[in-house]
Amino acid sequence: MARATHSFPDSFLWGTATSGYQVEGQSTNTDFWRWEQLPGRIAQGHKSGRACDWWEGGRWREDFDRAANDGHSAHRLSVEWSRVQPAPDRWDDAALDYYRQMVRGLRERGLTPLVTLHHFVNPLWVADTQRNLWESAEIVLLFAAYVRKVVGALGEFVNLWATINEPNVYMVFGWVNGIFPPGKKSIFAAMRVAANLLRAHAAAYCVIHELQPQALVGLPIHFRPIFPAHPDFWPDRWVAQTQFNLFSSLFPDAVRTGRLRQVLRPSLPIPEAKGTLDYFALNYYSADVTRFDLTNPRELFGRRSFPTDAEPDSSGLYASCPLGFYEALKWARGLRLPIYVTENGIGDETDGLRRRYLVTHLRQLWRAVNFNWNVRGYFHWSLVDNFEWERGWTHRFGLYALDTETQVRTPRPSARLYAEICKSRALSSDVVAQYTPELLETLFP
């Protein structure tokens, strides 16, 4: 077979994504650390512990070396609010300086940093009052002050920012199904939190642009296309649209219109949020099929499952559904903003599924780029296995396997596969033949 190549533009960013809590270790002054200590919260009682030892052991250096050697050109990381502002009246300049070293370290290795300012975790003082401060509008100015500090300190090296990671997941996990702290199950509290997340994002957007007019600011959305199980049956169509509107498109629509959709209430005007996105930050993992089910009010009377042709991971957290990725990109394109894929990946200890996941998803990404859609970068989740929240260490998302005892990293075949793609800025039939020969005919007919 003749060699065929799907090329990407030279300026396209190739990288991986991480978050502070999941890789740094010993994030003791946080609500999630306290949550981890409660029985039954984390699978098998796992603890984040030293995680990937980025903070105390400084192993971000060796991991950035890995990324650079593998030909990556970017990396997404997050700053932990609890380290920068351990108490309401105290800023930790040494912590800020350490983050500055990290982003400088990325630049020195030729990697473009994308920095997230909030990734699911709060300092204890934000979560430790009578009610979590995300339920109160007070959070907006507090978050803006923190953002000002971080952007002031890191701005010399960073101009790609993400304000709040997956506000849709954070709101649902923290306030609807209670999987994350504060562990509440109240749809009305969740709606208050959604409004405050949006206001805080808008305030952060203004602060960043005041300090850095040329910055690009995004709000990463965990985006799940939701298809009706029976497209001819209107209740299935209705429930699919409702779930989509209240999860995947809730925040992007609010930024577009300045109004936040509510459950059982008219939409809430938040005019300051209108237009506060410079790019769409797409986190895509899986798609869903949903059917109307009166017995499931918590999921808005729908019951979701994976599409029948999707390939689930070993525990059913996500499933490989590359066409869903294409649908997500197509939807995002409608926003008429540049797109960065800020997360995409699968937990797979043995790496068989991950290799297929990578090439089939990158093939869909290439289709989008080839149609001249404005997609500017791809950040694979993740570089090294890290602490997967309520799933603890049971879910391994890394291109590199991590031994948490010894901190030894071992490349999975996908690390080499991704390195070849990053270095050549292309997905070629040779690479597919080498790493996923079973897909060669399908991807390069």
- Per CB under 6 A, residues contacting ligand IFM are 19, 22, 166, 222, 283, 343, 381, 388
Residue 354, C-beta contacts closer than 8 angstroms, at least 6 positions apart:
345, 346, 348, 412, 414
Nearest distance from C-beta of residue 286 to ligand IFM, angstroms = 10
Enumerate the β-bridge partners of residue 15.
Answer: 74, 379
Nearest distance from C-beta of residue 148 to ligand IFM, angstroms = 25
Comparison of 162 and 190: residue with beta carbon closer to ligand IFM: 162
Comparison of 207 and 384: residue with beta carbon closer to ligand IFM: 384
Comparison of 173 and 444: residue with beta carbon closer to ligand IFM: 173
Nearest distance from C-beta of residue 218 to ligand IFM, angstroms = 14
**In 155-273, alpha helices (H):** 167-175, 187-211, 234-246, 250-257
Name the burial class of residue 281, with classes exposed (0-12), middle (13-18) and buried (19+) by CB atoms within 10 angstroms of its CB.
buried
Comparison of 32 and 444: residue with beta carbon closer to ligand IFM: 32
Nearest distance from C-beta of residue 93 to ligand IFM, angstroms = 27
Q: Parallel, antiparallel, or unpaired for β 160-164 and 216-218?
A: parallel
Q: What is the CA radius of gyration of the chain?
A: 21
Residue 262, C-beta contacts closer than 8 angstroms, at least 6 positions apart:
191, 268
Rounded distance between C-alpha atoms, residue 151 and residue 208, angstroms: 7
C-alpha closest to that of 72 among 14, 7, 115: 14
Comparison of 24 and 166: residue with beta carbon closer to ligand IFM: 166
DSSP structural state of residue 299: G
Rounded distance between C-alpha atoms, residue 380 and residue 359, angstroms: 12
Comparison of 70 and 388: residue with beta carbon closer to ligand IFM: 388
8 A C-beta contact, residue 376 and residue 338? yes
Comparison of 36 and 166: residue with beta carbon closer to ligand IFM: 166
Nearest distance from C-beta of residue 14 to ligand IFM, angstroms = 19
C-alpha closest to that of 146 among 170, 113, 122: 122
Rounded distance between C-alpha atoms, residue 103 and residue 411, angstroms: 24
Q: Count CB atoms within 10 A of the CB of residue 312.
A: 16
Nearest distance from C-beta of residue 169 to ligand IFM, angstroms = 7
Comparison of 27 and 301: residue with beta carbon closer to ligand IFM: 27
Angle at which helices 187-211 and 139-154 cross, to 10°: 40
Nearest distance from C-beta of residue 386 to ligand IFM, angstroms = 7
Nearest distance from C-beta of residue 341 to ligand IFM, angstroms = 12
